[in-house]
């Protein structure tokens, strides 16, 4: 019986996904739900807005292969009917590759938001690599100025794989335990579904609601160029809602908690 209930729930959710998700896929047609703008030079930025933008909040999705996270964000924005998702779309891969007659290089788009991180992340194979580094730097700075510098809260979205990252990696002795201030582990949640946050306020709010949460140590964190490092330097509240690949329902539940957080502190 439980199994049948699960399947009914599963199919109901799929139906829901198709019905409310339709405008997401019908992006090239005129949509009442989303207002989509694209620009593409080095960073293939797509901004998808449902209703009016929030003045102080933006949602960000940088890894194009993390489709569950993108769908969770778009479905949630469609329900809220307010706010914008900024994401990078470039053929579905994690890394962004640039190949022209002059230069060939690639980089992880979540390692470019500080200069040190960017210089380490850029893998240049051929051509004018110094020029590429300079051009990428300019583009990142204008991206940050246009979309992020003025906000008070960044909601980032990521996915991990079954053998990849989980909350356990952040516990003492784990591979990601350096520069972490606190970790809250929920016995009720999939270890792959966790928040990574930069403020005590977000940590307390989300951990009190029985989620897995990691609090970054903003003083000691390694400058790897990720958005959480940049946000901490700017004193912008940052919440990464990270879910296991395919965990759409639980990632949406996480975003519902983020929405409650937004209502409490940012409305
Ligand atoms: Zn990611």
Residue 71 · residue 115 · CB < 8 Å: no
CA of 32 from ligand 1 middle (Å) equals 29
Burial environment of residue 5 by CB neighbours within 10 A (0 to 12, 13 to 18, 19 or more): exposed
Q: What is the pLDDT along the chain (267 residues), one digit of tens a residue?
A: 444 444 445 545 544 544 444 444 434 333 457 888 877 689 999 999 998 888 899 999 999 999 999 999 999 999 999 999 999 999 999 999 999 999 999 999 999 999 999 999 999 999 999 999 999 999 999 999 999 999 999 999 999 999 999 999 999 999 999 999 999 999 999 999 999 999 999 999 999 999 999 999 999 999 999 999 999 999 999 999 999 999 999 999 999 999 999 999 998
d(CA 207, CA 9) in angstroms, rounded, equals: 27
CA of 26 from ligand 1 middle (Å) equals 25
| Fold category of 33-267 in CATH | Aminopeptidase (3.40.630)
CA of 170 from ligand 1 middle (Å) equals 16
CA of 1 from ligand 1 middle (Å) equals 37
CA of 175 from ligand 1 middle (Å) equals 17
d(CA 202, CA 215) in angstroms, rounded, equals: 9
CA of 159 from ligand 1 middle (Å) equals 6
Question: Hunting for tokens 């924005």 — which residue is that?
Answer: 77
């Amino acid at each position: 019986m439980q199994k049948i209930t699960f399947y009914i729930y599963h199919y109901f959710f799929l139906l829901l996904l198709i019905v409310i998700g339709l405008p997401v896929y019908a992006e090239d047609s005129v949509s009442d739900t989303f207002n989509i703008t694209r620009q593409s030079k080095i960073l293939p930025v797509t901004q998808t807005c449902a209703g009016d933008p929030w003045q102080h909040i933006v949602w960000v999705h940088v890894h194009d292969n993390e489709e569950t996270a993108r769908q969770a964000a778009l479905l949630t924005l469609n329900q809220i009917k307010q706010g914008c998702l900024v994401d990078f779309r470039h053929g579905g891969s994690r890394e962004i590759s640039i190949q022209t007659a002059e230069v060939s290089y690639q980089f992880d788009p979540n390692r470019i938001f500080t200069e040190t991180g960017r210089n380490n992340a850029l893998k240049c194979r051929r051509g004018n690599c110094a020029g590429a580094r300079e051009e990428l730097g300019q583009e990142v700075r204008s991206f940050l100025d246009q979309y992020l510098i003025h906000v008070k809260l960044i909601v980032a979205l990521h996915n991990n794989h079954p053998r990849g990252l989980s909350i356990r990696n952040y516990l003492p002795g784990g591979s990601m335990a350096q520069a972490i201030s606190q970790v809250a582990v929920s016995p009720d949640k999939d270890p792959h579904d966790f928040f990574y946050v930069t403020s005590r306020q977000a940590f307390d709010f989300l951990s009190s609601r029985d989620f897995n949460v990691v609090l970054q140590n903003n003083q000691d964190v390694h400058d790897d160029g990720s958005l959480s490092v940049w946000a901490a330097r700017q004193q912008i509240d940052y919440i990464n809602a990270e879910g296991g690949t395919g965990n759409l329902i639980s990632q949406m539940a996480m975003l519902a908690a983020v929405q409650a957080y937004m209502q409490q502190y940012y409305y």
